[in-house]
Structure 1
Amino acid sequence: MLKKNIIIFLIPLFMAVFILSNPIKSLAAKKITFIKLKIPFAVEVPDGKWIDPWKNACEEATITMIDQYYQGKNKLTNAEAKKLMLPIFTLENELFGFNKDTNAEETMQFINKFLSFTATIKENPTLDEIKNELMVKRPVISMHYGFELNNPALRFRQDGSSYHMMVISGFDDAKKEFIVQDSGNPKGLDFRYKYDTILKTLHDFDRITGQANGPARVLFTEPKTLVKVQNGKRIYLISKTQKQYIAHPDIFKKRGWKWANVKIVNKELLNTLTSGEPIWQ
Protein backbone atom coordinates (compact mmCIF):
# COMPACT_ATOMS: atom_id res chain seq x y z
CA MET A 1 0.00 0.00 0.00
CA LEU A 2 2.83 2.40 0.87
CA LYS A 3 4.52 1.66 -2.44
CA LYS A 4 1.26 2.38 -4.26
CA ASN A 5 0.84 5.67 -2.38
CA ILE A 6 4.37 6.76 -3.24
CA ILE A 7 3.66 6.16 -6.92
CA ILE A 8 0.46 8.19 -6.66
CA PHE A 9 2.35 11.10 -5.06
CA LEU A 10 5.17 10.88 -7.61
CA ILE A 11 2.90 11.37 -10.59
CA PRO A 12 1.68 14.97 -10.05
CA LEU A 13 5.06 16.42 -9.00
CA PHE A 14 7.08 14.92 -11.81
CA MET A 15 4.44 15.51 -14.47
CA ALA A 16 5.47 19.19 -14.48
CA VAL A 17 9.15 18.24 -14.54
CA PHE A 18 8.53 15.93 -17.49
CA ILE A 19 6.70 18.63 -19.43
CA LEU A 20 9.50 21.15 -18.80
CA SER A 21 12.22 18.61 -19.63
CA ASN A 22 10.78 17.33 -22.91
CA PRO A 23 9.78 19.28 -26.03
CA ILE A 24 6.00 19.05 -26.29
CA LYS A 25 5.08 17.07 -29.39
CA SER A 26 1.95 19.08 -30.08
CA LEU A 27 4.04 22.26 -30.16
CA ALA A 28 6.62 20.67 -32.43
CA ALA A 29 3.89 19.47 -34.77
CA LYS A 30 2.27 22.89 -34.89
CA LYS A 31 4.10 25.43 -37.02
CA ILE A 32 5.20 28.15 -34.63
CA THR A 33 6.92 31.07 -36.37
CA PHE A 34 7.35 33.59 -33.56
CA ILE A 35 8.33 33.30 -29.87
CA LYS A 36 9.40 36.05 -27.47
CA LEU A 37 9.95 35.06 -23.84
CA LYS A 38 9.60 37.88 -21.32
CA ILE A 39 13.06 37.90 -19.74
CA PRO A 40 13.99 40.49 -17.07
CA PHE A 41 16.78 42.44 -18.76
CA ALA A 42 20.02 43.33 -16.99
CA VAL A 43 22.93 45.31 -18.40
CA GLU A 44 26.39 44.10 -17.41
CA VAL A 45 27.40 47.57 -16.18
CA PRO A 46 24.45 48.62 -13.96
CA ASP A 47 26.11 51.92 -13.02
CA GLY A 48 27.22 52.63 -16.59
CA LYS A 49 30.91 52.49 -15.64
CA TRP A 50 33.11 50.11 -17.64
CA ILE A 51 35.38 49.11 -14.76
CA ASP A 52 36.23 45.81 -13.05
CA PRO A 53 34.47 43.54 -12.45
CA TRP A 54 31.55 44.90 -14.43
CA LYS A 55 33.30 45.37 -17.76
CA ASN A 56 33.53 41.59 -18.13
CA ALA A 57 30.19 40.74 -16.52
CA CYS A 58 28.15 39.51 -19.49
CA GLU A 59 28.24 35.99 -17.99
CA GLU A 60 26.98 37.17 -14.60
CA ALA A 61 24.26 39.31 -16.18
CA THR A 62 23.16 36.46 -18.44
CA ILE A 63 22.73 33.88 -15.68
CA THR A 64 21.04 36.47 -13.43
CA MET A 65 18.44 37.19 -16.10
CA ILE A 66 17.57 33.52 -16.54
CA ASP A 67 17.62 32.84 -12.80
CA GLN A 68 15.08 35.61 -12.25
CA TYR A 69 12.99 34.53 -15.26
CA TYR A 70 12.56 31.06 -13.80
CA GLN A 71 11.47 32.64 -10.52
CA GLY A 72 8.67 34.51 -12.24
CA LYS A 73 10.18 37.99 -12.57
CA ASN A 74 9.86 39.87 -15.85
CA LYS A 75 11.61 43.12 -14.96
CA LEU A 76 14.77 44.19 -13.09
CA THR A 77 15.95 47.65 -12.12
CA ASN A 78 19.66 48.40 -12.43
CA ALA A 79 19.88 48.46 -8.63
CA GLU A 80 18.22 45.05 -8.34
CA ALA A 81 20.46 43.56 -11.02
CA LYS A 82 23.59 44.92 -9.34
CA LYS A 83 22.55 43.49 -5.97
CA LEU A 84 21.94 40.07 -7.50
CA MET A 85 25.14 40.04 -9.56
CA LEU A 86 27.58 41.15 -6.85
CA PRO A 87 27.57 37.88 -4.87
CA ILE A 88 28.20 35.93 -8.09
CA PHE A 89 31.68 37.45 -8.47
CA THR A 90 32.58 36.33 -4.95
CA LEU A 91 31.23 32.82 -5.45
CA GLU A 92 33.07 32.48 -8.78
CA ASN A 93 36.32 33.58 -7.15
CA GLU A 94 35.83 30.96 -4.45
CA LEU A 95 34.88 28.21 -6.90
CA PHE A 96 37.29 28.91 -9.78
CA GLY A 97 39.84 31.42 -8.48
CA PHE A 98 38.62 34.01 -11.03
CA ASN A 99 35.38 35.58 -12.32
CA LYS A 100 36.31 36.65 -15.84
CA ASP A 101 35.38 34.80 -19.05
CA THR A 102 33.75 31.72 -17.56
CA ASN A 103 33.33 29.20 -20.36
CA ALA A 104 30.45 26.79 -20.98
CA GLU A 105 31.70 24.10 -18.57
CA GLU A 106 32.43 26.59 -15.78
CA THR A 107 29.16 28.45 -16.27
CA MET A 108 27.21 25.18 -16.22
CA GLN A 109 29.01 24.11 -13.04
CA PHE A 110 28.21 27.42 -11.34
CA ILE A 111 24.54 27.37 -12.39
CA ASN A 112 23.97 23.80 -11.27
CA LYS A 113 25.63 24.44 -7.92
CA PHE A 114 24.16 27.81 -6.97
CA LEU A 115 21.15 28.91 -9.02
CA SER A 116 17.45 28.07 -9.30
CA PHE A 117 17.80 26.34 -12.68
CA THR A 118 20.00 23.72 -14.30
CA ALA A 119 22.14 23.91 -17.43
CA THR A 120 23.49 21.32 -19.86
CA ILE A 121 26.01 21.85 -22.66
CA LYS A 122 24.83 21.41 -26.22
CA GLU A 123 27.62 21.31 -28.79
CA ASN A 124 27.03 22.36 -32.41
CA PRO A 125 23.35 23.20 -31.86
CA THR A 126 21.11 23.47 -34.89
CA LEU A 127 18.59 26.23 -35.53
CA ASP A 128 15.71 23.83 -34.87
CA GLU A 129 17.22 22.56 -31.61
CA ILE A 130 17.46 26.10 -30.23
CA LYS A 131 13.95 26.95 -31.43
CA ASN A 132 12.57 23.79 -29.80
CA GLU A 133 13.90 24.93 -26.42
CA LEU A 134 12.32 28.36 -26.84
CA MET A 135 8.99 26.82 -27.84
CA VAL A 136 8.77 25.13 -24.43
CA LYS A 137 9.71 28.43 -22.74
CA ARG A 138 13.30 27.55 -21.88
CA PRO A 139 15.78 30.35 -22.72
CA VAL A 140 19.17 29.37 -24.14
CA ILE A 141 22.59 30.71 -23.12
CA SER A 142 24.87 31.34 -26.09
CA MET A 143 28.65 31.92 -26.24
CA HIS A 144 30.17 33.97 -29.06
CA TYR A 145 33.24 35.36 -30.78
CA GLY A 146 32.01 38.89 -30.22
CA PHE A 147 33.79 40.75 -33.02
CA GLU A 148 31.87 38.79 -35.66
CA LEU A 149 28.54 39.84 -34.19
CA ASN A 150 29.27 43.17 -35.93
CA ASN A 151 27.44 45.17 -33.30
CA PRO A 152 29.05 48.59 -32.76
CA ALA A 153 27.30 48.90 -29.38
CA LEU A 154 29.46 46.09 -27.96
CA ARG A 155 32.77 47.25 -26.47
CA PHE A 156 35.50 44.74 -27.30
CA ARG A 157 39.19 45.59 -27.02
CA GLN A 158 41.28 44.67 -30.04
CA ASP A 159 43.75 42.85 -27.77
CA GLY A 160 41.02 41.16 -25.71
CA SER A 161 39.35 37.77 -25.98
CA SER A 162 36.18 39.22 -27.59
CA TYR A 163 34.24 36.56 -25.68
CA HIS A 164 30.56 37.34 -25.26
CA MET A 165 27.58 35.60 -23.67
CA MET A 166 23.88 36.31 -24.26
CA VAL A 167 20.38 34.99 -23.56
CA ILE A 168 18.53 33.73 -26.62
CA SER A 169 14.93 34.44 -25.70
CA GLY A 170 12.94 34.19 -28.91
CA PHE A 171 12.83 33.88 -32.69
CA ASP A 172 11.07 35.42 -35.67
CA ASP A 173 10.89 33.21 -38.76
CA ALA A 174 9.47 36.00 -40.91
CA LYS A 175 12.67 38.00 -40.49
CA LYS A 176 14.96 35.01 -39.84
CA GLU A 177 16.10 36.57 -36.58
CA PHE A 178 16.80 35.48 -33.02
CA ILE A 179 15.58 37.73 -30.22
CA VAL A 180 18.21 38.05 -27.49
CA GLN A 181 18.93 39.80 -24.22
CA ASP A 182 22.36 41.33 -24.88
CA SER A 183 23.73 42.65 -21.60
CA GLY A 184 26.74 44.26 -23.27
CA ASN A 185 24.46 46.72 -25.03
CA PRO A 186 22.51 49.26 -22.92
CA LYS A 187 19.78 48.90 -25.55
CA GLY A 188 20.10 45.11 -25.61
CA LEU A 189 16.56 44.36 -24.42
CA ASP A 190 14.92 42.12 -27.06
CA PHE A 191 17.78 42.88 -29.44
CA ARG A 192 17.83 40.99 -32.74
CA TYR A 193 20.49 39.13 -34.68
CA LYS A 194 20.04 37.14 -37.88
CA TYR A 195 19.91 33.37 -37.47
CA ASP A 196 23.13 32.99 -39.47
CA THR A 197 24.95 35.59 -37.36
CA ILE A 198 24.17 33.81 -34.09
CA LEU A 199 24.98 30.33 -35.40
CA LYS A 200 28.20 31.32 -37.20
CA THR A 201 29.62 33.25 -34.22
CA LEU A 202 29.04 30.51 -31.64
CA HIS A 203 32.43 29.93 -29.98
CA ASP A 204 33.18 28.89 -26.43
CA PHE A 205 36.01 30.53 -24.47
CA ASP A 206 39.22 28.48 -24.65
CA ARG A 207 40.98 28.64 -21.29
CA ILE A 208 44.32 27.62 -22.91
CA THR A 209 44.43 30.19 -25.72
CA GLY A 210 42.57 32.88 -23.78
CA GLN A 211 40.38 33.50 -26.82
CA ALA A 212 36.79 32.91 -27.90
CA ASN A 213 37.86 30.30 -30.45
CA GLY A 214 36.49 27.14 -28.86
CA PRO A 215 33.76 24.85 -30.21
CA ALA A 216 30.25 26.07 -31.01
CA ARG A 217 28.36 25.62 -27.73
CA VAL A 218 25.23 26.78 -25.97
CA LEU A 219 23.66 25.92 -22.63
CA PHE A 220 20.15 24.53 -22.54
CA THR A 221 18.31 25.41 -19.33
CA GLU A 222 15.41 24.20 -17.20
CA PRO A 223 14.05 25.22 -13.79
CA LYS A 224 14.62 23.61 -10.41
CA THR A 225 11.82 23.44 -7.81
CA LEU A 226 11.71 24.68 -4.19
CA VAL A 227 9.84 22.22 -1.93
CA LYS A 228 9.08 21.30 1.68
CA VAL A 229 6.85 18.77 3.42
CA GLN A 230 3.64 19.78 5.18
CA ASN A 231 4.48 21.40 8.56
CA GLY A 232 8.18 20.80 7.89
CA LYS A 233 10.86 23.40 8.52
CA ARG A 234 13.42 22.26 5.96
CA ILE A 235 13.27 23.59 2.41
CA TYR A 236 14.94 21.79 -0.48
CA LEU A 237 15.90 22.69 -4.03
CA ILE A 238 14.95 19.83 -6.36
CA SER A 239 16.69 19.22 -9.67
CA LYS A 240 15.38 16.16 -11.49
CA THR A 241 15.98 13.32 -8.97
CA GLN A 242 18.22 15.19 -6.50
CA LYS A 243 17.36 17.32 -3.47
CA GLN A 244 19.57 19.95 -1.82
CA TYR A 245 18.82 21.22 1.67
CA ILE A 246 18.82 25.04 1.94
CA ALA A 247 20.82 25.55 5.11
CA HIS A 248 19.83 29.11 6.09
CA PRO A 249 16.88 31.48 5.44
CA ASP A 250 19.28 34.26 4.41
CA ILE A 251 20.07 32.26 1.26
CA PHE A 252 16.59 33.13 -0.03
CA LYS A 253 17.37 36.82 0.26
CA LYS A 254 20.84 36.47 -1.28
CA ARG A 255 19.53 34.60 -4.31
CA GLY A 256 16.34 36.56 -4.76
CA TRP A 257 14.12 33.51 -4.19
CA LYS A 258 10.49 33.87 -3.19
CA TRP A 259 8.92 32.00 -0.27
CA ALA A 260 5.67 31.93 -2.26
CA ASN A 261 7.37 29.63 -4.82
CA VAL A 262 7.92 26.85 -2.26
CA LYS A 263 5.70 23.84 -3.06
CA ILE A 264 4.37 21.29 -0.54
CA VAL A 265 5.29 17.67 -1.35
CA ASN A 266 4.76 14.29 0.27
CA LYS A 267 7.46 13.10 2.70
CA GLU A 268 7.69 9.67 1.07
CA LEU A 269 8.28 11.35 -2.28
CA LEU A 270 11.03 13.54 -0.88
CA ASN A 271 12.72 10.46 0.62
CA THR A 272 12.97 8.83 -2.82
CA LEU A 273 15.29 11.62 -4.04
CA THR A 274 19.05 11.43 -3.62
CA SER A 275 20.63 14.04 -1.33
CA GLY A 276 23.02 16.48 -2.92
CA GLU A 277 25.41 18.90 -1.24
CA PRO A 278 23.57 21.30 1.11
CA ILE A 279 23.34 24.91 -0.02
CA TRP A 280 25.19 27.08 2.47
CA GLN A 281 25.58 30.36 0.58
Structure 2
Amino acid sequence: MAVAWAKNEKLPTSAEVEKKIIAISNYEQQIYGEFHSTNVSDTVERIFKGYLKYNNVEARYNIDKNDIIDELKKGNLVIVPLNGQKIGNPYYTPPGPLEHELVIKGYDPAKDQFITNDPGTRRGENYHYPANTLMAAIYDYPTGHREPVSRIIKAMIVVSR
Protein backbone atom coordinates (compact mmCIF):
# COMPACT_ATOMS: atom_id res chain seq x y z
CA MET A 1 0.00 0.00 0.00
CA ALA A 2 2.68 2.49 1.02
CA VAL A 3 4.71 2.02 -2.17
CA ALA A 4 1.59 2.35 -4.36
CA TRP A 5 0.85 5.62 -2.54
CA ALA A 6 4.45 6.80 -2.97
CA LYS A 7 4.39 6.06 -6.70
CA ASN A 8 0.97 7.71 -7.13
CA GLU A 9 -0.51 4.39 -8.23
CA LYS A 10 -4.02 3.16 -7.60
CA LEU A 11 -4.19 1.66 -4.12
CA PRO A 12 -4.60 -2.12 -4.18
CA THR A 13 -7.79 -3.92 -3.25
CA SER A 14 -7.87 -6.23 -0.20
CA ALA A 15 -7.50 -9.25 -2.49
CA GLU A 16 -4.47 -7.66 -4.18
CA VAL A 17 -2.93 -6.83 -0.79
CA GLU A 18 -3.41 -10.42 0.34
CA LYS A 19 -1.73 -11.70 -2.85
CA LYS A 20 1.16 -9.27 -2.32
CA ILE A 21 1.63 -10.37 1.30
CA ILE A 22 1.77 -14.02 0.19
CA ALA A 23 4.28 -13.13 -2.55
CA ILE A 24 6.46 -11.25 -0.05
CA SER A 25 6.29 -14.21 2.35
CA ASN A 26 7.34 -16.57 -0.45
CA TYR A 27 10.22 -14.22 -1.36
CA GLU A 28 11.41 -14.07 2.25
CA GLN A 29 11.19 -17.85 2.62
CA GLN A 30 13.22 -18.35 -0.55
CA ILE A 31 15.90 -15.72 0.17
CA TYR A 32 16.11 -15.69 3.99
CA GLY A 33 14.72 -19.08 5.00
CA GLU A 34 11.84 -17.58 7.00
CA PHE A 35 8.82 -15.37 6.45
CA HIS A 36 7.76 -14.36 9.93
CA SER A 37 7.82 -10.92 11.52
CA THR A 38 10.59 -8.54 10.52
CA ASN A 39 12.00 -5.69 12.58
CA VAL A 40 12.08 -2.16 11.17
CA SER A 41 15.55 -2.49 9.66
CA ASP A 42 14.80 -5.83 8.01
CA THR A 43 11.44 -4.55 6.74
CA VAL A 44 13.21 -1.64 5.04
CA GLU A 45 16.08 -3.71 3.63
CA ARG A 46 14.34 -7.00 2.80
CA ILE A 47 10.87 -5.91 1.79
CA PHE A 48 11.00 -2.31 0.60
CA LYS A 49 14.46 -2.29 -0.97
CA GLY A 50 14.90 -6.01 -1.71
CA TYR A 51 11.51 -7.22 -2.86
CA LEU A 52 9.68 -4.03 -3.83
CA LYS A 53 12.81 -2.29 -5.18
CA TYR A 54 11.72 0.95 -3.50
CA ASN A 55 14.55 2.96 -1.98
CA ASN A 56 12.92 6.19 -0.81
CA VAL A 57 12.38 4.71 2.64
CA GLU A 58 14.28 4.76 5.92
CA ALA A 59 14.22 3.34 9.42
CA ARG A 60 14.23 5.71 12.40
CA TYR A 61 14.78 4.82 16.03
CA ASN A 62 14.16 6.28 19.48
CA ILE A 63 11.24 8.25 18.11
CA ASP A 64 8.54 10.21 19.88
CA LYS A 65 5.18 11.63 18.87
CA ASN A 66 6.73 14.78 17.43
CA ASP A 67 8.99 12.77 15.11
CA ILE A 68 5.92 11.13 13.58
CA ILE A 69 4.07 14.44 13.29
CA ASP A 70 7.10 16.08 11.63
CA GLU A 71 7.22 13.38 8.95
CA LEU A 72 3.49 13.68 8.31
CA LYS A 73 3.88 17.46 7.91
CA LYS A 74 6.55 16.78 5.26
CA GLY A 75 3.96 14.74 3.34
CA ASN A 76 5.47 11.35 4.17
CA LEU A 77 3.79 8.18 5.35
CA VAL A 78 4.90 6.55 8.57
CA ILE A 79 4.70 2.84 9.34
CA VAL A 80 5.02 1.78 12.96
CA PRO A 81 5.53 -1.67 14.46
CA LEU A 82 3.43 -2.20 17.54
CA ASN A 83 1.72 -4.52 19.95
CA GLY A 84 -1.82 -4.68 18.58
CA GLN A 85 -3.07 -5.98 21.91
CA LYS A 86 -2.37 -2.59 23.48
CA ILE A 87 -4.29 -0.31 21.11
CA GLY A 88 -7.85 -1.33 21.89
CA ASN A 89 -9.13 -1.84 18.36
CA PRO A 90 -12.59 -3.41 18.74
CA TYR A 91 -12.40 -4.90 15.24
CA TYR A 92 -9.44 -7.18 15.99
CA THR A 93 -10.08 -10.79 16.83
CA PRO A 94 -9.31 -10.89 20.57
CA PRO A 95 -6.79 -10.48 21.99
CA GLY A 96 -5.34 -8.79 18.87
CA PRO A 97 -1.98 -9.28 17.17
CA LEU A 98 1.13 -9.17 19.32
CA GLU A 99 3.26 -8.05 16.35
CA HIS A 100 1.57 -5.73 13.87
CA GLU A 101 2.22 -2.70 11.67
CA LEU A 102 0.05 0.33 11.00
CA VAL A 103 0.34 3.02 8.38
CA ILE A 104 0.02 6.47 9.93
CA LYS A 105 -1.19 8.95 7.36
CA GLY A 106 -2.33 11.92 9.42
CA TYR A 107 -2.63 13.65 12.75
CA ASP A 108 -5.57 15.51 14.27
CA PRO A 109 -4.11 18.06 16.72
CA ALA A 110 -7.54 19.08 18.06
CA LYS A 111 -8.14 15.53 19.29
CA ASP A 112 -4.47 14.49 19.65
CA GLN A 113 -5.12 11.45 17.47
CA PHE A 114 -3.20 9.70 14.73
CA ILE A 115 -5.13 8.75 11.59
CA THR A 116 -4.18 5.32 10.33
CA ASN A 117 -4.81 2.71 7.70
CA ASP A 118 -4.76 -0.74 9.21
CA PRO A 119 -4.41 -3.66 6.82
CA GLY A 120 -5.32 -6.05 9.64
CA THR A 121 -9.05 -5.32 9.63
CA ARG A 122 -11.73 -4.49 7.08
CA ARG A 123 -12.61 -1.38 9.07
CA GLY A 124 -9.04 -0.11 9.28
CA GLU A 125 -9.21 2.75 6.79
CA ASN A 126 -8.99 6.20 8.42
CA TYR A 127 -9.08 4.68 11.90
CA HIS A 128 -8.19 7.16 14.65
CA TYR A 129 -6.09 6.27 17.69
CA PRO A 130 -5.26 8.52 20.63
CA ALA A 131 -1.62 9.52 20.22
CA ASN A 132 -0.66 8.34 23.73
CA THR A 133 -2.26 4.92 23.13
CA LEU A 134 -0.39 4.40 19.87
CA MET A 135 2.92 5.63 21.26
CA ALA A 136 2.64 3.27 24.24
CA ALA A 137 2.18 0.30 21.89
CA ILE A 138 5.02 1.04 19.44
CA TYR A 139 8.04 -1.24 19.67
CA ASP A 140 10.57 -2.62 17.21
CA TYR A 141 9.94 -6.34 17.64
CA PRO A 142 12.73 -8.70 16.58
CA THR A 143 12.83 -10.52 13.26
CA GLY A 144 11.60 -14.09 13.61
CA HIS A 145 8.64 -15.90 15.08
CA ARG A 146 7.64 -14.48 18.47
CA GLU A 147 11.26 -13.90 19.47
CA PRO A 148 11.89 -12.60 23.00
CA VAL A 149 12.07 -8.82 23.36
CA SER A 150 15.07 -7.72 25.40
CA ARG A 151 14.25 -3.99 25.39
CA ILE A 152 11.63 -1.66 23.97
CA ILE A 153 12.85 0.61 21.18
CA LYS A 154 10.38 3.04 19.60
CA ALA A 155 10.88 2.91 15.83
CA MET A 156 9.21 3.87 12.58
CA ILE A 157 9.59 3.50 8.85
CA VAL A 158 9.34 6.71 6.81
CA VAL A 159 8.12 6.33 3.23
CA SER A 160 8.68 9.33 0.98
CA ARG A 161 7.61 10.06 -2.56
Q: For structure 1, which segment, 189-198 or 145-154, has the greater mean C-alpha deviation from structure 2 after superposition?
A: 145-154
Q: What residue in structure 2 maps to residue 113 of structure 1?
A: 50
Q: Secondary structure at the match of 1:91?
A: helix
Q: TM-score, normalised by structure 2?
A: 0.85
Counterpart contact for 1:67–1:117, Cα < 8 Å? no
Q: CA RMSD in A?
A: 2.3
Q: Pick from 70, 77, 80: which aligns with 1:132?
A: 70
- CA distance in 1 between partners of 2:152 and 2:92 (Å): 20
Q: What residue in structure 1 maps to residue 111 of structure 2?
A: 175
Q: Secondary structure at the match of 2:159?
A: strand
Q: Summarize the alignment of residues 160-199 of structure 1 with structure 2, pairs less than 5 Å apart.
A: 162-199=98-135
Counterpart contact for 2:106–2:114, Cα < 8 Å? yes
Q: For structure 1, which segment, 113-122 or 168-177, has the greater mean C-alpha deviation from structure 2 after superposition?
A: 113-122
Asked if residue 104 in structure 1 is aligned to residue 40 in structure 2, the reply is yes
Q: Summarize the alignment of residues 220-235 of structure 1 with structure 2, pairs less than 5 Å apart.
A: 220-223=158-161
For structure 1, which runs of at least 5 residues remain unmatched after alignment? 1-64, 224-281
Q: Summarize the alignment of residues 1-281 of structure 1 with structure 2, pairs less than 5 Å apart.
A: 65-110=1-46, 111-115=48-52, 116-155=54-93, 162-207=98-143, 210-211=147-148, 214-223=152-161
Counterpart contact for 2:38–2:142, Cα < 8 Å? no
For structure 2, which runs of at least 5 residues remain unmatched after alignment? none
- CA distance in 2 between partners of 1:95 and 1:118 (Å): 22
Larger radius of gyration: 1
Over residues 68-116 of structure 1, what are the superposed CA-to-partner deviations in whole Å (9 max), with x where a residue is unaligned? 1012135322233234333211111123211121111210112122323
Alpha-carbon distance, 1:199 to partner: 1.0
Percent identity among equivalent residues? 23
Q: Which amino acid aligns with 1:113?
A: G
Over residues 162-207 of structure 1, what are the superposed CA-to-partner deviations in whole Å (9 max), with x where a residue is unaligned? 1111101111001110001111121000111011011111111134
